[in-house]
Chain A
Amino acid sequence: MTFLSQIIQYVISGITSGGIYAVIGICWSVVFLITQVLNFTTGEFVMLGGMLTWGFHGAGMGLIPASLLAVAATICIAIVMERAAIRPVRYPSEMTYMMLTIALASVIKGGVLLKWGSETRTIDPFFGTNVLHMFGATITPQVICVIAFLVIVTVGLSWFFNYTLFGKALRASAVNNTGAKLVGIDISKFRLFCFGLAGGLGAITGIVTAPITFTGYEIGLLNGLKGLVVAIVGGWSIIGTVIAALVLGLLEGFCAGFISPGLKDVFAFLVMIIFLILSTYRISSVFKEKYHEPE
């Protein structure tokens, strides 16, 4: 393998993982902007998507019905979670929400561990295993599937938020919750919708990535956190998140290739900590408003 093909291989794997982080980051920001809840179960939705598909597929269903059922089940779990656990909290504060969602994440994780054990699982690729070659590097159809999914999600959500009445109402309630209530927008329905959307997108991400990276009960934490990293670095906007995610994915790919695969995960979190610390120093007024706001 030549140096060029090696680099192209790293770029491909970087873009793939970047695409995954981008969708997870969008899941975080959709929930955070409208409900002000930092939803730590986002990563567990990804895990649930993959594991439920594996479970239903193992129970004798076809791959497509199994994945559809898995997505539906994850959406239901997300909505029930919002209704039964997050809304009834009596004194909602940032701290309470955070403890609550961390607790819910550990509940989902423990439940999956109880049901299916701690082995890593995989599901069959959707479009066969024919490998494409490009400059000596190899691309599997599943990678193209991930990238296509990212493009569909980005374009679809941008259209939805900018050109439909429902999406515009969602954006309005993200900008000013009270104002949105005053003009007759039903916030509580939107909260349910946002959690459902995050659950659905997360589950699809889990299903699409399961053939490449394997799935298991413990993948949720790291994947979810990296999604949070890109959402924060991207400034909670869709396009910012996608750019941050692709950059992070590429950096991680090269880091894993040239430095050490074990420290790949450390790298992403280090980026986040450094970014957050730098953002407190007044680089620009935008940052100051966003990250250093008084309570």
Chain B
Amino acid sequence: MNQSRKAYVLISLLALSVGVLPFVIPSPYIIGVMCFIAIYGALALGQAVLMEHAGVFSLAHPSWFGIGAYITGIAAVRGVPHLLAILVAAVFVAILAYIMGAPLLRLRGYYLACATFCLLIIIEIVIGNMTSLTGGHEGLLGISPLAIGSFTFEGDRHFYFFSWGLCIGTFWFLYNLMNSRVGRAMKSFNDSEATSMCMGVNVPNYKLKIFVITAVMASLAGSILCFWLRFIQPSMFGFPLLVELITIIIIGGGKTLIGPLLGSFIVMWMRELIHIYLGRVLPVMTAEIDALFFGIIIVVILIFMPGGLAGWLEQLIFIGRRVRERFAGP
């Protein structure tokens, strides 16, 4: 079986199991958590491709998510048709990411990370201070339920299919992208920028392209989150979300595309467990408390399991193959 057919089998298996799940287990709680897994999975996929495949260490990814959510929310509150609102948010984020990315991506390593980290903080503060437009720190309320044409999304099951549709679509798109000319170019300049420039790869152009593409994906995920929760707050898109995203990528392993989805699955369920079992013991339960546990997990995994879960599985498969070869004999 060749590589691409294997991937299609994997994607269709994933889509099948996701599609069957709400009919097998009709619990609204589990479906709700699965929605979160899909949204964060799509977000983490973009961040992982940006960080580990293209070598662009941008920390401003949660901001695109937040801006997408806010523009969709504000447009929906003002009565703009919802599909149009989502499109407007995506186009606006694309333009903003292009304008910000063009000068920022000239930086490298630590300096790129510092600049984008500042961008993250700036956007959170600005959203919090534009009270008349965004509702300030109290959050944006009064978003009407998502309606496309005459079809209204109500209940978690509709959003379940919508968000998983986005998530699997993102996965499929990025899989094809990484196995195309663009993806191979990105892999090459992640390994050695000087060499790939000598081979004629237009590195800044590719970096900017992947930056804008992942920003648009984050914006789409933000739009879904906005319509699903129907309430958004600036603190949802700040530092704690960044720590959560890094945890997802580290746990799952960012070198493969299935890693962030695995990581998202584990981290979201872990968050639920923390909330259920520790919520009784601890006095306060905020995103910062989650970040405490996630921080410990990041440190432990970086020290003991640097490839993440996907890397570990790959190693296991490799060892298994070696053992089988050894015992099969010539």
Q: Which of A248-295 contact B (CB under 8 A)?
A: 262-263, 265-266, 269-270, 272-273, 276-277, 280, 291-295
On chain B, the residues within 8 Å of A95 by CB distance are: 51, 57, 113
B291 at the interface (CB under 8 A from A): yes
A85 at the interface (CB under 8 A from B): yes
Given contacts A98-B113, A294-B193, contact A107 B103 (CB under 8 A): no
Closest Cβ–Cβ distance, residue A78 to chain B (whole Å): 15
Closest Cβ–Cβ distance, residue B299 to chain A (whole Å): 5
On chain A, the residues within 8 Å of B295 by CB distance are: 103-107, 110
A99 at the interface (CB under 8 A from B): yes
A38 at the interface (CB under 8 A from B): yes
In the bound complex, do residue A94 and residue B306 qualify as a contact, i.e. CB atoms below 8 Å apart? Answer: no
Number of A-B contacts (CB under 8 A): 140
Given contacts A85-B299, A98-B113, contact A277 B292 (CB under 8 A): no
Given contacts A100-B298, A222-B121, A232-B111, contact A90 B303 (CB under 8 A): yes
In the bound complex, do residue A272 and residue B114 qualify as a contact, i.e. CB atoms below 8 Å apart? Answer: yes
Given contacts A221-B239, A266-B122, contact A99 B291 (CB under 8 A): no
Q: Of the listed stretches A12-20, A111-119, A169-177, name the one at the interface; the rest are far from the partner chain.
A: A111-119
A5 at the interface (CB under 8 A from B): no
Interface string of B97-127 (1 = CB under 8 A from A): 0000001101111110111011101100110
On chain B, the residues within 8 Å of A85 by CB distance are: 299, 303
A186 vs B16: C-alpha distance when bound (angstroms) = 58
In the bound complex, do residue B303 and residue A102 qualify as a contact, i.e. CB atoms below 8 Å apart? Answer: no
Q: Nearest chain-B residue to A281 (Cβ)?
A: B106
Q: Nearest chain-A residue to B246 (Cβ)?
A: A99
Q: Which of B266-305 contact A (CB under 8 A)?
A: 282-284, 286, 288-289, 291-296, 298-299, 302-303
In the bound complex, do residue A109 and residue B291 qualify as a contact, i.e. CB atoms below 8 Å apart? Answer: yes
On chain A, the residues within 8 Å of B303 by CB distance are: 85, 88-90
In the bound complex, do residue A225 and residue B117 qualify as a contact, i.e. CB atoms below 8 Å apart? Answer: yes
On chain B, the residues within 8 Å of A94 by CB distance are: 57, 109-110, 113
On chain A, the residues within 8 Å of B288 by CB distance are: 106, 109-110, 113, 217
A98 vs B113: C-alpha distance when bound (angstroms) = 9
A3 at the interface (CB under 8 A from B): no
Which one, A89, A222, A232, A263, contacts B129 given CB within 8 A?
A: A263
A265 vs B193: C-alpha distance when bound (angstroms) = 35
Q: Nearest chain-B residue to A269 (Cβ)?
A: B118
Of A94, A96, A104, A292, the most chain B CB neighbours within 10 A belong to A94
**Residues of B near any A CB (own CB < 8 A):** 51, 57, 103-104, 106-111, 113-115, 117-119, 121-122, 125-126, 129, 193-194, 239-240, 242-243, 246-247, 250, 282-284, 286, 288-289, 291-296, 298-299, 302-303, 306
Which 4 A-B pairs give the minimum distances between C-beta atoms?
A110-B292, A107-B295, A103-B298, A269-B118
A-B contact pairs, 9 of them (CB 8 A): A85-B303, A96-B302, A103-B247, A103-B298, A107-B295, A107-B296, A225-B121, A265-B121, A272-B114
